[in-house]
Structure 1
Amino acid sequence: MSIVALIETKVKESNVKKVQNKFGSVWRWETNYSHSPRRRIWLGWKHTVVTLHVTCATEQLIHACVVDKKGDFSSAFTIVYGLHLVDTRRPLWASLAQLHQRVVGPWVIMGDFNSTLLSGDRHNGSHVTQAETKDFEDCLDHTGLTELKSCGHYFAWSNKGKGDRRISSRIDRALGNVEWHTKFTDAVVDYVNPGLSDHSPLVMTCSSSSVGGGRPFKFFDYMAEHDKFLDSVKKGWEMNCHGTLMFKLWSRLKQVKQELKALHHQEFARIEERIYKVREGLKEVQSQLATDHLDVDLHEAEKNLERQNKNIIDLLYDGSGRKLEKFDDIKAGISSFYKELIGTAASSLTSIDVQMVRKGKQLSADNAEGLVRPITNDEIDAAVKGIEVNKASGLDGFNCLFFLKAWDVIKDDMYDAEKGII
């Protein structure tokens, strides 16, 4: 550990130095005692490893700039402890919005927000309501913060009640801005066992080293909004190929992947430099405009920058709860999981009990006839365009948004589905 944040310490101010000295001289400390009568937040760092400078402190957060001594890591870091009521938490959201205007470069926020974000963030107890989550959602929309990759426990807090009286929730989180997700793609947060606490500690690891191996193709939603998207799809789809209908489909999609990779490399590569240029341009425009707070075009350009995250698994727990961190162990763990999921070959299969089936509900003759009638092109159109964009399509690397956006280009060939493609 190079940096540690402790929340809800409840150490009296007269005992602070006495307790901090027990950690040893290698640790330096900052607190928010001057802003919080309840002594909520401690921020500690090893001064021989990193340089940390606190730039802002309030009742609910401490914000600092962190640089390691080797020069490999530089980021803004905010530790949060949200108050317990919706009204008393609102200054926290306002503070994060203000920091968003000031932070340049990577920014990571960790801590206890004391607020759920999603409907499934609480088990037992009262249902999560929109009134609880609205301020948090609005803050994330305004700042562009998104959650870091995580593993371990999902629920970070529990009241440690017994049986049905045990309430668990996810109120502790780690968030990062676009620059963080772009630069530190291997960062992962482990929600470990709570021990004597009612909270699970969040342990974030971030290494500059990366494991080998190629990255599979993945279609990112921003490609579908690009002006050259349909041209790239047409170019890949028009390739001449011979064989079965399924082979033609596979070959064309493979060529479309190559065209989309070229589009990504041409339009979205070197993203850090582009973000820096946009920010510098925004500063210049703002200095020239005395009446406008923000240039709309530049702001939109900044928001639309590619938010890519490498598809790497850095940490994994197997079925027995053992933590896998080495690349070979992770590969073996994934392979073992799917082998167990698929199962083993049986020496014989039990036939269907026809008499038992006939005792159950059966389709009428008209319904049975409807299942085997020919599928029309209009039905295919309606089915494809009716799929939610966040659903997986089943074809490697492509999501449903790709097919929704590209359907008019490829549908004439896809209608051969009636003959056996889909």
Structure 2
Amino acid sequence: MNGKIWIFAEEGDNFEIESDTEQLLHGRYFSPRLARHVYISVVYAKCTRAERYALWEKMREISHMPEGYPWLIGGDFNTILSPRDRVGSDTNRQAEMVDFAEAIEDCRLLDPGFDGADFTWAKNGLFERLDRILLSEAWSPLFDATRVSNLPRISSDHGPVLVRCKMRNDQNGGRAFRFQNMWTRHEGFIGLVHDEWSQPRGPWECSTSKLSSRELKRP
């Protein structure tokens, strides 16, 4: 609709648009390598808080899709989520951060973390993380790992964000355990770990659960 969001798919894959608004392009992505389609939303948010209200409501609307479908949403949200996402200005943006955080919580989205540059946008001494990737809870089981990298800025004030997903390999009848950093951001994570750690175990398991914190941190 706004002429500023482009999606390219390699030959043999397909992207079917389901919703096209001024700030978000949403649809289903199909690939022969995937057992099922996934939902992808690409964002190019407006510059003012009032204009972004429509984006947050659209995200909430999309989140009501049938439960269990993998959903990735990312792009330029044009706002920060935390004071740590900004350097070079002390302007109070608390209200904008609350708007964004509430939308993420209502949609039950998770931040998978990132490597690379701390900030994705820079201008006149101001640095901000305006671009990010968010995932639904159903995204993680589809892939062995999802890695987000903030790449260097070259010819724009924004830096590209690269997402790489490692396909699952079930041919050997099992998978190695992989810890997902985004689990730690779930509100029930600490409670779940505490409950599981407190459960009675067999003789060998009991002995390992009594290791001191120093021993657990030992390489």
Q: Per the shorter chain, which TM-score range?
A: 0.7 to 0.9
Q: Which has the higher helix share?
A: 1
- CA drift of 1:224 comes to 5.1
- CA drift of 1:129 comes to 3.1
Please, which of 76, 81, 96 is the counterpart of residue 44 of structure 2? 81
Q: 1:236 to 1:108 in 2, by over 3 A?
A: same
Match of 1:90 in 2: 53
Match of 1:53 in 2: 16
- CA drift of 1:174 comes to 0.3
Tell whether 2:176 aligns with 1:205: no
1: CA distance between counterparts of 2:141 and 2:135?
10
2: CA distance between counterparts of 1:174 and 1:229?
32
Aligned ranges for residues 92-107 of structure 1 at < 5 Å? 92-104=55-67, 105-107=69-71
Q: 1:111 to 1:253 in 2, by over 3 A?
A: farther
Tell whether 2:216 aligns with 1:396: yes
Please, which of 145, 149, 152 is the counterpart of residue 193 of structure 1? 152
Q: Quick check: 2:142–2:168 contact (8 Å CA) kept in 1? A: no
Tell whether 2:131 aligns with 1:172: yes
Aligned ranges for residues 275-294 of structure 1 at < 5 Å? none
Match of 1:114 in 2: 78
- CA drift of 1:173 comes to 0.3
1: CA distance between counterparts of 2:86 and 2:33?
41
Match of 1:325 in 2: none
2: CA distance between counterparts of 1:131 and 1:110?
21
Q: Which has the higher strand share?
A: 2
- CA drift of 1:67 comes to 1.2
- CA drift of 1:53 comes to 0.3
Partner secondary structure for residue 197 of structure 1: coil
2: CA distance between counterparts of 1:170 and 1:54?
27
Aligned ranges for residues 123-202 of structure 1 at < 5 Å? 123-159=87-123, 161=124, 166-202=125-161
- CA drift of 1:148 comes to 2.1
Answer 1 or 2: higher relative contact order, Cα 8 Å, separation at least 6: 2
Q: 1:236 to 1:127 in 2, by over 3 A?
A: farther
Q: Quick check: 1:118–1:128 contact (8 Å CA) kept in 2? A: no
- Paired letter, 1:180: W
2: CA distance between counterparts of 1:224 and 1:193?
37
Share of identical aligned residues, percent?
A: 23
Q: 1:138 to 1:86 in 2, by over 3 A?
A: same
Tell whether 2:13 aligns with 1:44: no
- CA drift of 1:223 comes to 2.2
Query: Deviation per CA, 1:48-87, whole angstroms, max 9, x where unpaired?
Result: 2311100001110000100102444631000001100111
- Paired letter, 1:206: C
Tell whether 2:217 aligns with 1:254: no
- Paired letter, 2:120: A
2: CA distance between counterparts of 1:229 and 1:152?
34
- Paired letter, 1:254: T
Q: 1:205 to 1:252 in 2, by over 3 A?
A: same
Partner secondary structure for residue 134 of structure 2: strand
Tell whether 2:175 aligns with 1:221: no
* Higher Cα radius of gyration: 1
Match of 2:30 in 1: 67
Deviates further, 187-196 or 72-81: 72-81
After TM superposition, where is structure 1 displaced by more than 4 Å over at least 4 residues in a row? Answer: 212-216
- Paired letter, 1:110: G
Q: Quick check: 2:144–2:167 contact (8 Å CA) kept in 1? A: no
- CA drift of 1:189 comes to 1.3
- CA drift of 1:255 comes to 4.2
Q: 1:253 to 1:111 in 2, by over 3 A?
A: farther
Q: Quick check: 1:51–1:69 contact (8 Å CA) kept in 2? A: no
Partner secondary structure for residue 179 of structure 1: coil
Task: Give the total of aligned pairs.
Answer: 203
2: CA distance between counterparts of 1:66 and 1:131?
34
RMSD across aligned positions (CA): 3.0
- Paired letter, 1:106: P
2: CA distance between counterparts of 1:190 and 1:76?
20
Partner secondary structure for residue 39 of structure 2: strand
Q: Quick check: 1:83–1:89 contact (8 Å CA) kept in 2? A: yes
